[in-house]
Amino acid sequence: MLVAVAVIVALLLSIGLVLLFSARRWTPNEDSVVEQINRILPQTQCGQCDYPGCRPYAEAIASGEADINQCPPGGEAGVKALADLLGREPRPLDTSHGETKPPVVAIIDEDRCIGCKLCIQACPVDAIVGAPKMMHTVIADACTGCELCLPPCPVDCIDLIPRRRPFIWPVKEMDVETGSASKTTQRERDHA
Amino acid sequence: MHELDVGEQLYRFPGGLKLRHHKQIACRDELIRPDMPEALYLPLQQHQGPAGERVVDPGDRVLKGQPLTRARHDREVPVHAPTSGTIRAIKSWPVSWPPDSEAECLVLEPDGQEIWFETDALTNWREAEPAELVERIKSAGLAGLGGAMFPTAAKLRGDWPHVHTLILNGSECEPYISCDEMLMRERPDAIVEGGLILARALGARRVIVAIEDQMGAVEKSLSSALAEHDPDGLCRIVEVTTIYPEGGEKQLVQVLTGAEVPHDGLPQHLGLACLNVGTAAATRDAVIDGKPLIERIVTVSGPGVAHPRNLITLLGTPVADLLRAAGGAHDDTERLVLGGPMSGLPLASDRIPIAKGSNCILVLRHQDTRREQPVMPCINCGECVRVCPASLLPQELYKYLRADEHDEADSLNLFDCIECGCCAHVCPSHIPLVDWYRHGKGVLRERGIEDARAQQARLRFEAREKRIAEEKQQRRRKREQREARLQSGTEARSEVQAAIERARSRAAGSDEDGDR
């Protein structure tokens, strides 16, 4: 009887030790989860998710504070990718944070710009260059189209134009049953 | 064991189709030049890669062969004035790629005098350094004339082991196209000389001229050119069996060597370089005559044109001028195609100009274009798999692309598809397979661009965050230091004293300056 109890206790202790050790040794790295979430986010840094950038939002998702459907630029595809990564159910985009729009870039009307520097301070990716009382300009390649430079501009000289996208060959297929184009992937071409 | 030379034994590539050639109709008449067009429209970018830097302005008078753009590196290719005249404007004008699009073109109004810009000929090219030959080829604006328009200089030097064999590709296998056949008949000497120059530039020891077994007259003319210009016996003519798409670079390499060009590699990694025969002839003109690439042979053919023929065409000539030179198009012409019937691109307008890679204009009537047959579901018959020259699974690719599963299609090597059109040709369900592959490649390419953009935005955002945090830290440290100083008595007094003195001297300064 005593021997049996001793054996069971010893067994439990050793299993407990192994579990304790492996829990210390192989904890899921919090950082790597944030990193993986951040890689899926579109890096627009627009703050529509109510967090000041994509990485803070990724941290909030990882800690369970924010939901996965708060990113309008990422769209439904982004929500789905996040759901796949985190093993959750995909859900429709929360439109209270905004709607998914085609990508845009900001452009400054250089005649109207007064060089106040407010947009430079607002830009989350340093995509606006300029000096005080000199006109500013947007580095189009670096602009994410986050629209954060619009509200601070006192003379309303910043416009958003569609971002130039590469040509994608359209597919037009006639459907057997309906005789109409069933799957038309023609996209309006914006070769600005 | 005796090591076989390239081309000594011929192999087969998987798939492919035997097609009716329809080539002879355009080869009966001799080569002529169309009348000088009223204006030439020269796209600044006529090759794969970024456009060169423009060096002329509207209003400038230019001479024949004068560079209009300048290449800053090997992937840029300069454009030259095809004739003497005046640059009238820089205008948005229809171009062939992307379809239905316009691009900035220089509008050159010819003056009809054909005065040449100074030409810099090199007669003793056999002694010239390879690097100098490549420089000349680059500044002459050479890009692959077979249709892919890859910058020739970038093909001749790069990061790969030694290239031992140069393959001159004269096996144009697509129906109707016969510009290379005409060139090999009319200018075999130029091809052989150009091939030898290219071989010297590459450091290659052998040159293979690959032609098709049904080009009877070509073999004879090339042989006599070899006898005259190739005393060392570097060149050899190899006749390959005509199976479409044998003229594709990878397929030709496989036929000649039995080796497959690696999925992520180039023929150069196998010690081979593959160039079009037209590029070889242009190389000869560029090096021996010092003349840049300003014209090419274009086939105008198809059932919709009155007199199918080959034309020596100045770059920038609108397609409409070519059609006129070929007797005009029939009234019921429905479609103009750039390239051949299998892999060509439909042209949106006959104002589109001929560029360096334009090999053929195909004119199709209503009854020749594929009728609007309903697309039926894929029945998994496997015909497309049988004919695919790249050993892909076209039906699987189609299913994934249709379901928007682009990553799966990518993992089935969608990008190895050469868009030859064999699968769509044999498909009993009339599925426009190549359209789907082009679409899928476009989506994946755009996604790659977007990913790179997101990556850059992330780095910029993080750099900014770091900078702001550092600035904040610095400000805090300064404030703390100041507070510490103010708390210790003597320091504080001297600090106050210094501030008072600063204010005084500023006041004195402004007095001296007057009332500024």
C-beta atoms of B460 and A126 within 8 A: yes
Q: What is the pLDDT of residue B31?
A: 93
C-beta atoms of B462 and A55 within 8 A: yes
Please give the Cα distance from B267 to B160 (Å, whole number).
10
Q: What is the pLDDT of residue A30?
A: 66
Closest CA to B41 of B315, B322, B339: B315
Domain residues of chain B, as ranges? 383-485
Same domain? A39 vs A88:
yes
Chain B closest-CA separation from residue A33 CA (Å): 16
Establish if A159 belongs to a structural domain.
Answer: yes
Establish if A175 belongs to a structural domain.
Answer: no
**ipTM of predicted assembly, 2 dp:** 0.79
Residues of B in contact with A173 (CB under 8 A): 375, 431-432
| Partner A contacted by B497 (CB < 8 A) | no
Contacts of B469 (CB under 8 A, 6+ apart): none
Please give the Cα distance from B458 to A55 (Å, whole number).
9
- For residue A179, what pLDDT band results from cuts at 50, 70 and 90? very low
C-beta atoms of A127 and B462 within 8 A: no
Domain boundary among A97, A112, A145: A97
Q: Are strands B165-169 and B206-212 parallel, antiparallel or unpaired?
A: parallel
Residues of B in contact with A42 (CB under 8 A): 450, 454
Residue of B nearest to A186 (CA): B439
Q: Considering only A148-162, A174-188, B432-446, which range has the smallest mean pLDDT?
A: A174-188
C-beta atoms of B457 and A126 within 8 A: no
Q: Which ranges of chain A would DSSP assign to H, the alpha helix?
A: 2-25, 30-40, 54-62, 75-86, 118-122
Question: What value, to the nearest 5°, has the Cα angle with vertex B52 and ends B51 and B54?
Answer: 115
Please give the Cα distance from B431 to B57 (Å, whole number).
48
> Average pLDDT for residues A153-179, to the nearest whole number?
78
Per-residue pLDDT of chain B (516 residues; tens, 9 = 90+): 456 678 788 999 999 999 998 998 999 899 999 999 999 999 999 999 999 999 999 999 999 999 999 999 999 999 999 999 999 999 999 999 888 889 999 999 999 999 999 888 888 899 999 999 999 999 999 999 988 899 999 999 988 889 999 999 999 889 999 999 999 999 999 999 999 999 999 999 999 999 998 887 899 999 999 999 988 889 999 999 999 999 999 999 999 999 999 988 899 999 999 999 999 999 999 999 999 999 999 999 999 999 999 999 999 999 999 999 999 999 889 899 999 999 999 999 999 999 999 999 999 998 887 666 788 999 999 999 999 999 999 999 999 999 989 999 999 999 999 999 999 999 999 999 999 999 999 999 999 999 999 999 999 999 999 999 999 999 999 999 888 877 776 667 777 788 888 888 888 776 555 444
Taking the whole predicted model, whether its pTM rises above 0.80 is answered as yes
- DSSP secondary structure letter of residue B138: H
Establish if A183 belongs to a structural domain.
Answer: no
The burial class, CB within 10 Å (0-12 / 13-18 / 19+), for B275 is buried
C-beta atoms of A172 and B435 within 8 A: yes
How many contacts (CB atoms, under 8 Å) link A and B? 85
Establish if A18 belongs to a structural domain.
Answer: no
| Partner A contacted by B374 (CB < 8 A) | yes
Q: Nearest by CB to B458, from A43, A179, A183: name it.
A: A43
CB contact residues (below 8 A), chain A span 29-58, against chain B: 38, 41-45, 53-55
Q: What is the pLDDT of residue B313?
A: 96
Q: Nearest by CB to B439, from A126, A170, A189: name it.
A: A170
Same domain? A73 vs A109:
no
> Average pLDDT for residues A109-116, to the nearest whole number?
90
Q: What is the pLDDT of residue A27?
A: 72
Please give the Cα distance from B54 to B36 (Å, whole number).
24
Contacts 24+ apart (CB under 8 A), B451-460: B453/A43, B453/A141, B453/A144, B454/A41, B454/A42, B454/A43, B455/A43, B456/A141, B456/A142, B457/A43, B457/A44, B457/A45, B457/A125, B457/A142, B457/A144, B458/A38, B458/A43, B458/A54, B458/A55, B460/A125, B460/A126, B460/A127, B460/A142
Residue of B nearest to A122 (CA): B464
CATH of the domain at A106: 3.30.70.20
Establish if A77 belongs to a structural domain.
Answer: yes
Establish if A1 belongs to a structural domain.
Answer: no
| Partner B contacted by A111 (CB < 8 A) | no
Residue of A nearest to B375 (CA): A174
CB B360 within 8 A of CB B103: no
Establish if A88 belongs to a structural domain.
Answer: yes
Residue of B nearest to A146 (CA): B457
Domain boundary among A97, A127, A154: A97
Q: What is the domain range of residue A146?
A: 102-164
Please give the Cα distance from B182 to B198 (Å, whole number).
21
- For residue A172, what pLDDT band results from cuts at 50, 70 and 90? confident
Establish if A176 belongs to a structural domain.
Answer: no
Domain boundary among A97, A114, A139: A97
Same domain? A69 vs A117:
no
Domain count, chain A: 2
Same domain? A65 vs A106:
no
The burial class, CB within 10 Å (0-12 / 13-18 / 19+), for A15 is exposed
CATH of the domain at A86: 1.10.15.40
Please give the Cα distance from A162 to A101 (Å, whole number).
10
Given a cut of 50, whether residue A22 has pLDDT beyond it is yes
Q: What is the pLDDT of residue A173?
A: 62
